[in-house]
Structure 1
Amino acid sequence: MRRFLVATTGCGLVISGCTIASAVVLAHIVAGVITDPAARTLGAVSGPVAALAGLWALRTLAHWQQGRLAQRGATAVIADLNRKVLATTAALPPRQLAERRDDAAVVVTRGLDGLRLYFTNYLPALILAAVLTPAAVAVIAVYDWRSAVTVLVVLPLIPVFMVLIGLATAERSAAALKSMGTLQSRMLDLVAGLPTLRALRRVGGSADRAAELGAAHRRSTMSTLRIAFLSSFVMELLATLGVALVAVGVGLRLLNGNMTLAAGLTALLLAPEVFWPLRRVGVAFHAAQDGKTAADKAFALIDTPPDPTPRTPVTITESPAGVVIELPTLNAVAEPGRVTVLAGPNGIGKSTLLHDILGLTEPGADRQRWWRRVAWLPHRPMLVFGTVRQNLELFGPLDIESACRATCFDEVLAELPDGLDTVIGQGGVGLSLGQRQRLGLARALGSPADVLLLDEPTAHLDAATEAKVLRAIRDRADAGATVVVVGHRDPVLAIGDRVVRVGSPAHV
């Protein structure tokens, strides 16, 4: 960033110098041609015209280099922020991740792209406003101090209106970013639920809902654009008024013979250059405000403090004979060859306890070796876009035939058009909830891992399938695996060698 700002400032200095010099040279060329017959010859004007062409060429080159540097700087900063947001978000504990997932998704996928306008338009315009505007005013004062006074009277009005309108735009941009995240989440939920809505013959209502979401996003966008257009109108009006006042004053003094034509033309040519950078800042500010708001959100995500909620201490003892998991605060131990059931009301922390055992609540902890010994079935099985086979082998190879038979997923495969090669969508779109649950169970029970952590493993299953799955879980424990199950239904509790009532001092 420092190198980018230094290089951009250098280009701004070159652009400002060429702009002022070309205005002075052009004014003297025109004044000489009009007032001095000797200056109308080709030899007399060839030198100044060549100098003017050189200044214009240098200014064009400086603009090109500044744009090139801005693009490179924007790409580097956006990539760096994206990487840090993703790394920080991925390292969050599951509860914090769920709270910040939507914000992170909007910032990474769309929000930070607005920073490109911030670097390519706003910062160069801001540098020119800091360099060219005062330099142009100073040169005008040298040639015509009255025009400089006129410019200085009108000039402060532009920043005042920029600040007033900018405050409103900043609030609107923050609201628009939040609205975009909400609308995006609702649209994704709507699309994911289309198969269910179609099965219930409610697709017509989803079309109306999609139209409502689109209209809400359009209203939010148009509200921001109205403020931007108002700002542009005010900037142009003030700049035009300032140039017009300078032109009137110069014209009157030329008529009265109180100034030279070269001085008057120099003031007239430089007056627009005084206001032009500020107008660019005003326009670019609104174009880049969404990106700046997203950057602020990105920094807030990067600076997210760790969850201060105290975690349940977990002691894990690994050995060739098996894995022993101790939960001292619950006075519970999960041992090889036994099924430990964690029961209790919803929201008491049973799933969080599984996260503690997995090590997900300890960012930075090296759990790779531990995870190779664990098969985890979350409350909602993780399914990705791809074939059924790829989802079954997502965490490693397994005996697909035995795993599918143990969880009744073989019945699902028989109904799928391409069997194991059937393609499903993100999150299991294309399968019912019960079919998704069976797929996740097949993946977990077919794993060679010697620790099974199962969160509500029989959710969305009929009674016959539930009984078969519970027998398979019992068989894995009898084969020496350490099994921890979250559940509260009687059939699940019945297979437990020990039932731990989370949140209660009494344990069975």
Structure 2
Amino acid sequence: MNRQNQDKLVESLAREMQSAEAPPLIVEEKAALPALEDVTKPVKKDLIFAVVLGGIAGIFLVFQMGAIARLVTDLAFNQKNIFDEKNVLLLLGFSVIVRSILQSQADTFGDKAAIKAISSLRIEVMAHLFRAGPVALDLEATGKTATALSNGIEALSPYIARYIPRLSAMVILPLILLGVVFSLDKISFMVLIITGPLIPVFMALVGYAAQAVMDRQWNELLRLSGSFLDFLQGMTTLRLFGRAKKGAVWVGDMAEGHRKETFKVMRIAFLSSGVLEFFASISIAIVAVVLGGRLLAGTFSFETAFFILLLAPEYFLPLRVFSTSYHARQNAQSAFDPLAKLLTLPELAEEARKQGQYCPEPSVDVFDPCAVEALVLKNVAVGYNEGKNVVEDFSAHFKSNQLTVISGPSGAGKTTIFRLLLGMLPSRSGEVFLQMAGGKYASRSHLKVGWVPQSPYFFAGTIFENLRLSAQDADLVQMRCAAQEAGALEFIEKLPQGFEFKLGDRGAPLSGGQIRRLALTRALLSGASLLVLDEPTADLDQENAQLLAEAIERSAKGRIVVAISHREDIGALAAQSLRLEKGRLVSEKKLEERK
């Protein structure tokens, strides 16, 4: 996907997110899973066109078979030559051409409906995931989610483009043909109406067994995707513990399991198709025997008998074709279930965004970034799902132009506070707002947040391309200024090609300290007024840690900076130090007090 298409996708997602009215966050009740049929609601018009055109094509099929029956009868029994059949040949040619055009257009409308529905669903799911945010996705395996968003969505295409139109054709075309046969011969009509239902009945019986097998196949695929991604990401650790080969064998066993489940699906599909063909052939043979006996007895005309015999295979054809498409529906249902679960994730980020609009009185008339004095958290309580509060009655002032460090033991609630500051998680109670100069207030939504995680991610590309992720219009001059502030400019300029130096995945071959400073550069380039850092100097040697700590201290000028850290290199520079234990603030010290 090129840059222009990426921008269009992002813009469409943004419009979707802005226009969507998210329901309030209710953790006591679970949302109902969306149904597969809901996917086709935006494309009903295209599907109706496909069904109508297919029905009209069925009418021209009757004309086509009637012309063939007349032509054969005249040539074989009425002593006419081919030149005497101009009108019949014209009718036959016209019927074939019109029917082909109509059926082609019906298939085109079906394909268009599938493309539109899949695009709409993909945007809907992506927009919902943006509204849900990273916290809601914490328990979802990355590999499974990626497979659901790619292969899972694409698996719906045959269901929309073929299954739904053929479901309608299975009803419409047989009814048209039954009406024609009823007007010609009541006995043939009875044979067709008795033998016809055998195919859908058998198809339903096969379907129950096939659905369970397809569910297992998709579960195996999702497990394989998630496990393979985990194996790749943890290969270094596995090699260090001598478990790489066993991990590879484990992934291979899952791949073999998926292969076996896939062949089970194919076996059921082939066997069911063979049996359905058998029933259809037997039914057509019964019609042929009945007509042949009546022809030998001289009680029936050849033209009518031949016409009915030509229509008989076409009567069973929609049923046979639909039976093959029925597997597409089962596959689509298995593929849609993981997507439906993603669509029921709570919209935590959207709820947090709405809470960010809160502003106590008196509020400022016009927001001035330079007038921000502090980000205030007042009596805040935060928790996850239906569990108890992880952070309870937390109050703090994160002031502008200074560094605040949060420390505490594991499980104390530091990450939860960070998720609240980043807008990933809503609070259950309390207030979050901006304290402005002159004793006024503003909503926290005015803050632009920059995030420097403990393990920053850089994709394979140039430093310039990676930095522009936070500021699409940034030029080289702005990047140099941000890099200078973050203490990264010196080592960038020493690299071959400087900002055009190509990085590998996760920033290879840069060192840990260089990657952290590059991540700080990217956050500063975004123009963030709130900078949040997670263990910025962890795992760094003393020299790199000191360089990064000094850069973080410099970055506090003109913005609010909050960091989680247990190291003294950051703590010694903090103007304010907060300590959490068991979700509560147990100590708050200023720099002067610590000295």
User: Which bin holds the TM-score, normalised by the shorter protein?
Assistant: 0.7 to 0.9
The C-alpha deviation readout for 1:22-41, integer Å capped at 9, x for no partner, is 2233223323433333xx23
Q: Which moved more, 1:455-464 or 1:314-323?
A: 314-323
Q: Which residue of 1 aligns with 2:347?
A: 306
Higher relative contact order (CA 8 A, sep 6+): 1
Amino acid at match of 1:251: G
| 1:331 counterpart (395, 414, 421) | 395
Question: For 2:537, what is the secondary structure of its paired residue?
Answer: coil
Question: For 1:506, what is the secondary structure of its paired residue?
Answer: strand
> 1:80 deviation in Å?
1.6
Counterpart contact for 2:414–2:580, Cα < 8 Å: no
Counterpart contact for 1:114–1:288, Cα < 8 Å: no
Counterpart contact for 2:131–2:349, Cα < 8 Å: no
Amino acid at match of 1:188: L
Question: For 2:300, what is the secondary structure of its paired residue?
Answer: coil
Q: Structure 2 CA distance, aligned partners of 1:199 and 1:469?
A: 29
**Which of the pair is proportionally richer in helix?**
1
In the TM superposition, what are the counterparts of 1:89-238 in structure 2 within 5 Å?
89-99=129-139, 104-192=145-233, 211-212=252-253, 214-238=255-279
Amino acid at match of 1:465: N
> 1:435 deviation in Å?
5.1
| 1:390 counterpart (450, 462, 465) | 465
Counterpart contact for 2:214–2:334, Cα < 8 Å: yes
Q: Structure 1 CA distance, aligned partners of 2:411 and 2:304?
A: 79
| 2:451 counterpart (364, 376, 382) | 376
Pair 1:68 & 2:95 matched:
no
Amino acid at match of 1:359: G
> CA 1:362/1:208 → structure 2, altered by over 3 Å: closer, same or farther?
same
Amino acid at match of 2:194: V
> CA 1:392/1:281 → structure 2, altered by over 3 Å: closer, same or farther?
same
Amino acid at match of 1:63: Q
> 1:390 deviation in Å?
3.1
Q: Which residue of 2 aligns with 1:402?
A: 484
Q: Structure 2 CA distance, aligned partners of 1:384 and 1:347?
A: 31
Counterpart contact for 1:385–1:426, Cα < 8 Å: yes
> CA 1:421/1:274 → structure 2, altered by over 3 Å: closer, same or farther?
same
> CA 1:292/1:358 → structure 2, altered by over 3 Å: closer, same or farther?
same
The C-alpha deviation readout for 1:120-173, integer Å capped at 9, x for no partner, is 322232222111112222323333333332322322221122222223333444
> 1:303 deviation in Å?
5.4
Question: For 1:458, what is the secondary structure of its paired residue?
Answer: coil
Amino acid at match of 1:487: S
| 1:22 counterpart (57, 64, 70) | 64
Q: Which moved more, 1:63-72 or 1:331-340?
A: 331-340
Question: For 1:11, what is the secondary structure of its paired residue?
Answer: helix
| 1:280 counterpart (309, 312, 321) | 321
Amino acid at match of 2:453: P
> 1:296 deviation in Å?
5.6
> 1:209 deviation in Å?
5.9
Counterpart contact for 2:534–2:565, Cα < 8 Å: yes
> CA 1:506/1:369 → structure 2, altered by over 3 Å: closer, same or farther?
closer
> CA 1:375/1:58 → structure 2, altered by over 3 Å: closer, same or farther?
closer
Q: CA RMSD in A?
A: 3.8
Q: Which residue of 1 aligns with 2:587?
A: 507
| 1:340 counterpart (404, 412, 415) | 404
> 1:454 deviation in Å?
0.8
> CA 1:209/1:436 → structure 2, altered by over 3 Å: closer, same or farther?
farther
Q: Which residue of 1 aligns with 2:561?
A: 483
In the TM superposition, what are the counterparts of 1:31-46 in structure 2 within 5 Å?
31-37=73-79, 40-46=80-86
Q: Structure 1 CA distance, aligned partners of 2:349 and 2:150?
A: 29
Question: For 1:383, what is the secondary structure of its paired residue?
Answer: coil
Counterpart contact for 1:322–1:450, Cα < 8 Å: no
> 1:285 deviation in Å?
2.2
> CA 1:346/1:271 → structure 2, altered by over 3 Å: closer, same or farther?
farther
Pair 1:357 & 2:435 matched:
no
Counterpart contact for 1:434–1:461, Cα < 8 Å: yes
Pair 1:428 & 2:507 matched:
yes
| 1:460 counterpart (521, 535, 539) | 539
Counterpart contact for 2:62–2:177, Cα < 8 Å: yes
Counterpart contact for 2:69–2:306, Cα < 8 Å: yes
Counterpart contact for 2:483–2:518, Cα < 8 Å: no
Q: Structure 1 CA distance, aligned partners of 2:504 and 2:82?
A: 74
Amino acid at match of 2:52: G
Q: Which residue of 2 aligns with 1:469?
A: 548
Query: TM-score, normalised on structure 1?
Result: 0.84
> 1:114 deviation in Å?
2.6
Counterpart contact for 1:81–1:298, Cα < 8 Å: no
Q: Which residue of 2 aligns with 1:320?
A: 370
The C-alpha deviation readout for 1:427-485, integer Å capped at 9, x for no partner, is 435556665434324544687655321112123323443344334434544x4643211
Question: For 1:92, what is the secondary structure of its paired residue?
Answer: helix
Amino acid at match of 1:89: L
> 1:183 deviation in Å?
2.6
Q: Structure 2 CA distance, aligned partners of 1:235 and 1:427?
A: 54
Q: Structure 1 CA distance, aligned partners of 2:224 and 2:511?
A: 25
> 1:401 deviation in Å?
5.4
Counterpart contact for 1:187–1:210, Cα < 8 Å: yes
Give identity over the alignment, percent. 29
Counterpart contact for 2:400–2:560, Cα < 8 Å: yes
Question: For 1:500, what is the secondary structure of its paired residue?
Answer: strand
The C-alpha deviation readout for 1:387-407, integer Å capped at 9, x for no partner, is 124334542434365356x47
Pair 1:48 & 2:88 matched:
yes
Q: Structure 1 CA distance, aligned partners of 2:450 and 2:287?
A: 78
Amino acid at match of 2:415: S
> CA 1:81/1:326 → structure 2, altered by over 3 Å: closer, same or farther?
same
Q: Structure 2 CA distance, aligned partners of 1:289 and 1:441?
A: 49
Q: Name the count of aligned residue pairs.
A: 499
Q: Structure 1 CA distance, aligned partners of 2:320 and 2:116?
A: 27
Q: Which moved more, 1:295-304 or 1:123-132?
A: 295-304
Counterpart contact for 1:235–1:279, Cα < 8 Å: yes
Q: Structure 1 CA distance, aligned partners of 2:274 and 2:326?
A: 14
Counterpart contact for 2:131–2:348, Cα < 8 Å: no
> CA 1:427/1:237 → structure 2, altered by over 3 Å: closer, same or farther?
farther
In the TM superposition, what are the counterparts of 1:432-447 in structure 2 within 5 Å?
436-444=515-523
> CA 1:84/1:41 → structure 2, altered by over 3 Å: closer, same or farther?
same
> 1:66 deviation in Å?
1.1
Q: Which residue of 1 aligns with 2:126?
A: 86
Counterpart contact for 2:162–2:325, Cα < 8 Å: yes
Counterpart contact for 1:450–1:482, Cα < 8 Å: yes
Q: Which moved more, 1:203-212 or 1:41-50?
A: 203-212
> CA 1:394/1:203 → structure 2, altered by over 3 Å: closer, same or farther?
same
The C-alpha deviation readout for 1:285-325, integer Å capped at 9, x for no partner, is 21354345445654554454434999798889975254412
Q: Structure 2 CA distance, aligned partners of 1:286 and 1:432?
A: 52
- Which stretches in structure 2 are left out of the alignment for 5+ residues? 1-42, 380-393, 428-442, 472-477, 589-595
